[in-house]
Amino acid sequence: MSRILLSSVAAVAVMASAHGAAAQTEIQFWHAMGGNLGDTVNELAAGFNASQKEYKVTAVYKGSYTETLTAAIAAFRAKQAPHIVQVFEVGTANMMAAKGAIYPVYQVMADAKEPFDPKAYIGPVYGYYSTTDGKLLSMPFNSSTPVLYWNKELLQKAGLDPNKPPTTWDELGEMAGKVVAAGGKCGFTPQWQTWTMIENYGAWHDLPFATKANGFGGTDIELKFNDQPRIKHIQRLADWSKDKRFVYGGREGKSDSLFNGGECAFRVGSSGSAAGAEKALGKDKVGIGMMPYDPAVRPKPQNSIIGGATLWVLQGKPKAEYAGVAKFMTYLSSTPVQAKWHQDTGYVPITLAAARATEDAGFYKANPGRDVAVKELTLNPPTDNSKGLRIGNFVQIRDVVDEELESVWSGKKDAKTALDEAVKRGNELLRKFEAANK
């Protein structure tokens, strides 16, 4: 009996080792895309796995951005890190600072001798995640930019032309006033207020968020967003809140219920929210256009900056496995994959070719407004103020700005006091980051 057992164990062992020799190398990919987005990510991984035999990408959903990052950090400390982890854009400076932990994408590509052309990528998408001399640190994955949404039905009710959106903030205020006067509950609400009303308001008007090219030039930087135009803008919104022309709906995406529930006529929010709004209100009821601007600050808008997340490669795996990582990155950047990702999700494509392919396929004609995000990002060549943001401890700084803005909306502080305080508190967090990363 025991002889049979022993020989069968041996047989299994031989089979296992034979299997091992022919087995694919597994690439672990941890991401934060739940629901429909998660399904699309799984499709991407399956597409890559079907395209070649050497590597197998395993996509694992790890929860929210924060949870995914925390899980990756814990795994790295325990030497169990995945090859690829998706990190949101505000974590960029902190990831860069973790020098022993990350494997910059440009280096991954070079070491694997994988062809890689930086010029194929859309400027502000590529620029946000590259060094000052243009080397890509992490692979852009899901990128979005704020756009203006409007509810055509509410505009019609107020006697306004539903196909003529406001182009300036003053126009938006006037139109919002008419919406409220016609019995509307809410004129305008922002989504991700710090990202849309402070960071992107700055880039759109070519105003600095921080010194040294918004932090691209070093960690010894000071925040600069308490300038006159932004104080005026925030104060204007606070004034509007008195007659419901402005309604605050909460941090991050919490104001979605206000716009998708049909209460607010206007919203500045992520281009990635288009599908959700169209689903909630009906495709023909939602208008998508460029963000309004203030002609008094700048005669024409500059360009918007992105939000979203990128794929970081982590150190600590056998060298040969990174060749598979490089192949997967190439696959993700390929035109059909990017075009599909863009059309399915509403995130902007990361390459110009994918945007063109989408246009040629007639997608923008069938889905008006879906091209606005790319248009905004590529409106002008990015300046130092509109290339992106590279801010240490940015997650905490955003929390600080959110807190201070909330104190304006609740009437506790005026815009100047709040923004000055936000800059002061933010600078303290920057000094902490600087000290930790000397």
Closer to another protein by Cβ: residue 97 or 182: 97
Residues 214-253 as x/- pattern, contact with another protein by CB under 8 A: ----------------------------------xxxx--
CB closer to another protein out of 90 and 160: 90
Q: Write down the least CB distance from residue 437 to another protein, Å.
A: 7
How far apart CA 145 and CA 268 sit, in angstroms, is 10
**Contact of 338 with 350, CB cutoff 8 Å:** yes
* Sites for another protein among residues 35-74 (CB under 8 A): 66, 69-70, 73
Residue 4 CB coordination number (10 Å): 8
Report in angstroms how near the CB of residue 434 gets to another protein at its nearest.
Answer: 11
Shortest reach from residue 213's CB to another protein, in Å: 23
d(CA 323, CA 23): 16
How many beta carbons lie within 10 A of that of residue 30, not counting itself? 25
Tokens 């508190």 label which residue?
425
Please, which of residues 99-158 interact with another protein by CB under 8 A? Answer: 99-101
| Size of site (CB under 8 A) for another protein | 41
**3-state secondary structure at position 148:** strand
Least spacing, CB of residue 343 vs another protein, in Å = 31
Residue 431, judged by CB atoms within 10 A of its CB (0-12, 13-18, 19+), counts as middle
Distance between CA 396 and CA 402 in Å, rounded?
A: 10
User: Rounded to the nearest whole angstrom, what is the least distance from the CB of residue 29 to another protein in the complex?
Assistant: 18
- Least distance (Å) between residue 284 CB and another protein: 24
Whose Cβ is closer to another protein: residue 5's or residue 78's? 78
Site for another protein in 248-277 (CB under 8 A): 248-251, 254, 257-258, 261, 263
Of the pair 96, 221, the CB lying nearest another protein is at: 96
- CA nearest to 51, candidates 43, 39, 59: 43
Look at phi and psi of residue 413 and say left if phi exceeds 0, alpha if psi is from -120 to 50, else beta: beta
Minimum distance of another protein from residue 100's CB (angstroms): 4
Are the C-beta atoms of residues 41 and 59 closer than 8 Å to each other?
yes
Taking a C-beta distance cutoff of 8 angstroms, is the pair 166, 290 a contact? no
**Which H helix or E strand runs over 57?**
strand 55-61
Q: Where on the phi/psi map is residue 434: left (φ > 0), alpha (ψ -120 to 50), or beta?
A: alpha
- The owner of tokens 């006697």 is 159
187 Cβ neighbours under 8 A, 6+ residues apart = 172, 173, 175, 176, 177, 179, 180, 240, 244, 245, 246, 247, 264, 265, 266
Closer to another protein at the Cβ: 199 or 404?
Answer: 404
CB 346 within 8 A of CB 143: no
Closer of 67 and 360 to another protein (Cβ): 67
User: Which residue among 25, 38, 98, 335 contacts another protein (CB under 8 A)?
Assistant: 98
- Angstrom distance (rounded) from CA 62 to CA 48: 20
Identify the bridge partners of residue 210 per DSSP, sorted by sequence position.
Answer: 223
Q: What is the smallest separation between the CB atom of 322 and another protein, expressed in angstroms?
A: 18
Query: Cβ distance 139 to 120 under 8 Å?
Result: no
Nearest approach in angstroms of CB 288 to another protein is: 22
CB of 261 to another protein, least distance (A): 6
Window 372-411: residues binding another protein (CB under 8 A): 393, 395-396, 399, 402-404, 406-407, 409-410
d(CA 226, CA 217): 20
Q: Among residues 101 and 379, whose Cβ is nearest to another protein?
A: 101
Closest CB to another protein among 237 and 291?
A: 237
Q: Would you put residue 369 in left (φ > 0), alpha (ψ -120 to 50) or beta? A: left
342 vs 413, beta carbon nearer another protein: 413
Selected from 30, 76, 204, 225, the binder of another protein by CB under 8 A is 76
Q: Which is nearer to another protein, 248 or 341 (CB)?
A: 248
Q: Tell me if 77 contacts another protein by CB under 8 A.
A: yes
Residues binding another protein (CB under 8 A): 66, 69-70, 73, 76-77, 91, 94-95, 97-101, 248-251, 254, 257-258, 261, 263, 393, 395-396, 399, 402-404, 406-407, 409-410, 412, 425, 428, 432, 435-437
